[in-house]
Amino acid sequence: MNYFSKNIKFLREERKLGQSELAKLLKVSRDNVASYERGSIPKLDVLVRIVNLFHIDLKDLVEKDFELGLPAGYTVAADPDAPYQHTNQNEDLTLESLQKLVKIQEKYIKTLEEKIEANSKAKR
């Protein structure tokens, strides 16, 4: 299961940030943050900023439900631009997590396309 959108909202609220505040830290719009919380997957550069800001492994961000407990070693970065480096990070796991995100994004896009097509047929 993908917990990305749920975890982004959890981390934002846990840090007591509004969507606009998080958007500024991530250098995106508030609407982008809202869409991430609804299921949209951000571009790679934004994913990197999220990982750096919250000091969370991408694999954990996607695959673990943070409401059940945060991963060990979780901290919030004092400097959101400082790169997060987890010493035991397995590059294959990161690639695997990114591939899962791409598949989820593809499903999301397909669902949106189907909704648009259904709406356009209904209007005819």
What does the pLDDT read at residue 94? 63
pLDDT digits (tens, 9 = 90+) for 70-121: 776 666 555 555 555 554 445 555 667 777 777 777 777 788 788 888 888 8
pLDDT confidence tier of residue 62, bands split at 50, 70 and 90: confident
Q: Given this model, what pLDDT does residue 19 score? A: 96
The domain spans of the chain are: 4-123
Write out the two tokens for 58.
């991408």
DSSP class per residue in 10-62: HHHHHTT--HHHHHHHHTS-HHHHHHHHHT----HHHHHHHHHHHT--HHHHH
Task: Please state the length of the chain.
Answer: 124
Residue listed under structure tokens 């790679």: 44
In this structure, which CATH number among 1.10.132.20, 3.40.50.360, 1.10.260.40, 3.30.479.10 belongs to the domain 4-123? Answer: 1.10.260.40
* Mean pLDDT, rounded, for 58-72: 82
Q: Taking Cα atoms as reference points, which of 101, 107, 71 lies closest to residue 2? A: 101
- CA nearest to 33, candidates 13, 60, 62: 13
Task: List pLDDT tens digits, range 17-58.
Answer: 999 999 999 999 999 999 999 989 898 889 888 988 888 888
Give the whole-angstrom CA distance, residue 20 versus residue 1: 28
